[in-house]
Amino acid sequence: MKVALLGLGLMGLPIAQRLVHCGHDVVAWNRSQERLKIARDEGLSVASSLTAAVTAGEVLILTLSDAAAIEEVLFDPSVTPLIEGKTVLQMGTISPDESRNLGIRVEAAGGDYLETPVLGSIPEARAGELIIMAAGSETAYHQTLLLLRGLGKEVEHLGPVGKGAAVKLAMNQLIVSLTAGFSQSLGLIRAQGVEVEQFMQLLRQSALYAPTFDKKLKKFMEHDYSNPNFPLRHLIKDLALFQQVAESSGINGAIANATLKVLLSGQDAGYGDEDYSSLYEAINPGFDAETDIGC
């Protein structure tokens, strides 16, 4: 398919590369020249302008940071008229209301809208092993299913627009809770001088274990959150969206709210662009890598 991929960030670049690998005709665009140059150097075909990219694609894939960025790109007066007859796949993490609003505006412009937020990060995008939570136009879903199956090991159509966005927020809330919960327990273990590996061996045998604990353990032990696949600032965005949607759905948002404050303190301490697991440092402040007990 002829694909215009808009937004060559951490996820956009590997998604574009995977689509090329799957045989699609991809032209990519990014606002900043730096990322455009990286993509060109990696062999991707890049558009000379946003309108050139949108004109070239029958399918427009959005891998932009948030709803404000999508609005700026898609509803630029020079771009909106070009949406007519195109299928828009929105892959970023936004709220159900933001997605519904976007869907209405895309359809008013004569386009077809499918939300397709993804679970998984750069390695999963490269390997075509994302989990894709599609919702919206059935026509767009069937038209792009082959393309989506090239990107995802699981592609599910969940119903009308908003359901995919809701599932994605529910998933990312679990990323927060599991990582924050493990960070608190591991912090206690280290502060009390318990052998970390002994704790882990017991935890791995229990029903409480989640694979993400071992995935992040090295970062916690080494206090090294560099080269992020998923930065803390995006998790903060997602938890804030979760909290708004939860509260408007009658769910007590107090836990999300308290966690959000801790995550924001991590951002204030300079971890915003580091891996999201740096939330460990906000939960366990004052640890010195040199003097940690139990490393």
- Residue the block writes with tokens 């935890």: 203
Q: Which is nearer to ligand NAP, 163 or 190 (CB)?
A: 163
Q: For ligand NAP, give the closer residue by CB, 75 or 287.
A: 75
Among 100, 135, 234, 272, indicate the residue that binds ligand NAP (CB under 6 A): 234
Active-site residue (options: 86, 163, 168, 216): 168
| CB of 73 closer than 8 Å to CB of 45 | no
Q: Report the C-alpha gap between 75 and 18 in whole angstroms.
A: 27
Among 93, 116, 179, 183, binds ligand NAP (CB under 6 A): 93
CA 130-126-32 angle, 5° bins: 105
Asked if 261 is an active-site residue, the reply is no
Is residue 31 near ligand NAP by the rule CB under 6 A? yes
**CB nearer ligand NAP, residue 80 or residue 184:** 80
Residue closer to ligand NAP (CB basis): 54 or 189? 54
C-alpha distances (whole Å) from 159 to each of 74, 90, 164, 165, 250 are 24, 15, 8, 11, 22
Q: Count residues near ligand NAP (CB under 6 A).
A: 25
Stretch that binds ligand NAP, among 149-157, 210-218, 229-237, 286-294 (CB under 6 A): 229-237
Distance, C-alpha 92 to centroid of its chain = 6
Considering only residues 58 to 87 of the shown chain, the ones binding ligand NAP according to CB under 6 A are 63-66, 69, 72-73
Using CB under 6 A as the binding rule, the residues of this chain from 252 to 291 that contact ligand NAP are none
**Binding-site string for ligand NAP from residue 177 to residue 216, where x marks contact by CB under 6 A and - marks none:** ----------------------------------------
Residues 6+ apart with CB under 8 A from 105: 74, 75
DSSP-derived secondary structure letter, 271: I
Q: Which of residues 111-140 bind ligand NAP (CB under 6 A)?
A: 118, 121
Other CB atoms within a 10 A radius of the CB of residue 185 amount to 13
Q: Find the binder of ligand NAP among 3, 4, 5, 8 (CB under 6 A).
A: 8
Residue 284: which residues within 8 A CB-CB, separation 6 or more? 183, 186, 187, 190, 191
Output the CA angle 89-53-63, nearest 5 degrees.
Answer: 35
- What are the residues binding ligand NAP (CB under 6 A)? 7-12, 30-32, 35, 63-66, 69, 72-73, 92-93, 118, 121, 229-230, 234, 238
Indicate which residues carry an active-site annotation.
168
